[in-house]
Amino acid sequence: MLIEWDDSYAVEDSIDEQHRKLFDILNDIFRCLRSGPVRARDRDHLTASLRDYCRHHFTNEEALMESVGYPGVERHRVEHARFSAKVEEFAAAPVQADAAGLLDLLAFLDNWLISHIINSDKRFGHFLRERDEP
Ligand SMILES: [Fe+2]
Ligand SMILES: [Fe+2]
């Protein structure tokens, strides 16, 4: 499925920008899978950008959490690690795998990201706002 950004996902400006970029990458992967037989080169390119950008985003988010003394940072890090493991599963799936299987895995990543933003990232956004406006 294509996923669409919604204002209700807002956490904090720099984080939101990175989340939008993740949405774009996941949507590019969806378009690639939907457009017919997947070429190994395209799939590898897209999964590499997903992996790299996840690493970038998670590192940034965790660093911001640490810099403000967010008490939920360790639990949050575990959630990020779980997602990264799923991304590796996606990257390791054979290109010839049936598109339905890859689409299922992609749908899992889409749903995970949105639910993680709504529940965990927004909890951090709430912490930031409380801290700025006690
Ligand atoms: Fe997060
Ligand atoms: Fe995030």
Structural domain boundaries of the chain?
Answer: 10-132
Please tell me the distance between residue 96's alpha carbon and the centre of ligand 1 in angstroms: 31
* Best CATH choice for the domain 10-132 from the list 3.40.50.2300, 1.20.120.50, 1.10.645.10, 3.40.50.1000: 1.20.120.50
Average pLDDT score over residue span 79-89 = 94
Q: From CA 126, how far away is CA 134, in angstroms rounded?
A: 11
What pLDDT score does 66 carry? Answer: 97
- Rounded to the nearest whole angstrom, what is the distance from the C-alpha of residue 27 to the centroid of ligand 2? 17
Look up the pTM and report it. Answer: 0.92
Q: Distance, CA 37 to ligand 1 centroid (Å)?
A: 33
- Whether 79 contacts 116, CB under 8 Å: yes
- Mean pLDDT for all residues in the chain: 92
Among 63-67, 84-88, 113-117, name the one with the lowest average pLDDT.
Answer: 84-88
| Per-residue pLDDT at 2 exceeds 70 | yes
Q: 95 CA distance to ligand 2 centroid (A)?
A: 28
Contacts of 77 (CB under 8 A, 6+ apart): 62
Average pLDDT over residues 31-54: 88
Ligand closest to 56 (CA) is 2
Distance 60 CA to ligand 1 centre (A): 10
Does the pLDDT at position 99 exceed 70?
yes
**108 alpha carbon, distance to own chain's centre:** 11
Evaluate if residue 96 carries a pLDDT over 70. Answer: no
Ligand in closest contact with the CA of 65 = 1
For ligand 1, a single-atom ion, which residues have Cβ within 5 Å?
A: 61, 121
First-to-final CA distance of the chain:
40
**Which residue is it, tokens 């939920």?**
72
Asked if pLDDT for residue 98 goes beyond 70, the answer is: no
